[in-house]
């Protein structure tokens, strides 16, 4: 029975506490609301800042006087002695270069020995005998031309003269040409032979032919 009573007392106390809290809270809210209503919104305008004072004018500072310019000192001529020129040193020519010894080129090899060739031999004796007074050119007779013609004949392998060269002129063109023409037509030779004994071409010694008017 006592426990129920204690519980009932506790419940009643809690109810009083809740009611008291509600009353206090409500009163405080109403008081705050009334103060807010009393407040009025006021736009506060800030005062503009005072104008800045102009800076004071600069003080007049006197300019320093210009420096005094003194006249330059007078020019003094100083005689400078001319340099002493020493005589030029004679140039010594360089020594001549040493001679360069160049060995002589080797001697060329000796030519091979010429093959042994026999001389052609006349089969008709002296070639002068092949000429007669009838062979004298008419133009040479009219001009009284005479003299000795020296010729060299080339004898072919067949023993006939294939060429005639005048190696000593008589002074008459008619006598020179007539000598070669007759010698090539009438000369007969035994041809020369080479080292193997075969007939070959060779030249005769110089042959004199005398032309003389009767």
Residue that wins the pLDDT comparison between 171 and 23:
171
- Is the distance from CB of 118 to CB of 199 less than 8 angstroms? no
Phi-psi region of 124 (alpha: psi -120 to 50; beta: other; left: phi over 0): alpha
> What pLDDT sits at residue 61?
66
> What pLDDT sits at residue 108?
84
> What pLDDT sits at residue 97?
77
For range 63-78, the mean pLDDT: 69
How many secondary structure helices (H) and strands (E) does the chain include? Answer: 3, 8
Give kind and range of the element (H or E) at residue 167.
Answer: strand 161-168
For every residue of 72-138, DSSP letters joined together read PPPP----PPPPPPPPPPPPPPPPPPPPPP-PPPPPPPPPPPPPP-PPPEESSS-GGGG--GGGS-H
What does pLDDT average to over the chain? 79
> What pLDDT sits at residue 117?
72
Residue that wins the pLDDT comparison between 192 and 27:
192
pLDDT tens-digit map of 30-50? 654 665 555 444 454 566 666
pLDDT tens-digit map of 158-197? 999 999 999 999 999 999 999 999 999 999 999 999 988 8
> What pLDDT sits at residue 39?
47
- Is the distance from CB of 188 to CB of 160 less than 8 angstroms? yes
For range 144-148, the mean pLDDT: 95
Strands 147-155 and 207-211: antiparallel
> What pLDDT sits at residue 187?
92
Tokens linked to 42: 């006021």
Longest CA span, the chain: 221
pLDDT tens-digit map of 101-140? 677 788 888 776 556 578 899 887 899 999 999 999 999 9
Residue 6 has pLDDT above 50, yes or no: yes
- Least-confidence region, from 79-88, 125-134, 141-150: 79-88
Whether the pTM exceeds 0.75: the reply is no
Residue 207 has pLDDT above 90, yes or no: yes
- Is the distance from CB of 179 to CB of 185 less than 8 angstroms? no
């Amino acid at each position: 029975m006592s426990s129920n009573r204690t519980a009932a007392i506790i419940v009643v106390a809690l109810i009083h506490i809740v009611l008291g809290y509600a009353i206090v809270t409500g009163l405080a809210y109403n008081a705050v609301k009334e103060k807010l209503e009393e407040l009025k919104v006021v736009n506060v305008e800030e005062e503009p800042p005072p104008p800045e004072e102009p800076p004071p004018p600069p003080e007049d500072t006197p300019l320093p006087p210009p420096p005094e310019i003194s006249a330059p000192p007078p020019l003094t001529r100083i005689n400078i002695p001319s340099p002493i020129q020493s005589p030029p040193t004679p140039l010594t020519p360089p020594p001549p270069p040493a001679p360069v010894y160049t060995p002589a080129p080797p001697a060329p090899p000796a030519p091979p020995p010429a093959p042994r060739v026999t001389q052609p031999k006349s089969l008709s004796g002296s070639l002068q005998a092949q000429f007669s007074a009838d062979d004298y050119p008419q133009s040479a007779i009219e001009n009284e031309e005479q003299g000795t013609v020296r010729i060299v004949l080339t004898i072919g392998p067949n023993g006939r003269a294939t060429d005639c060269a005048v190696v000593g002129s008589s002074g008459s063109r008619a006598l020179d040409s007539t000598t070669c023409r007759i010698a090539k037509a009438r000369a007969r030779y035994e041809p020369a032979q080479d080292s193997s004994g075969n007939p070959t071409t060779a030249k005769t010694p110089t042959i004199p032919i005398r032309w003389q008017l009767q």
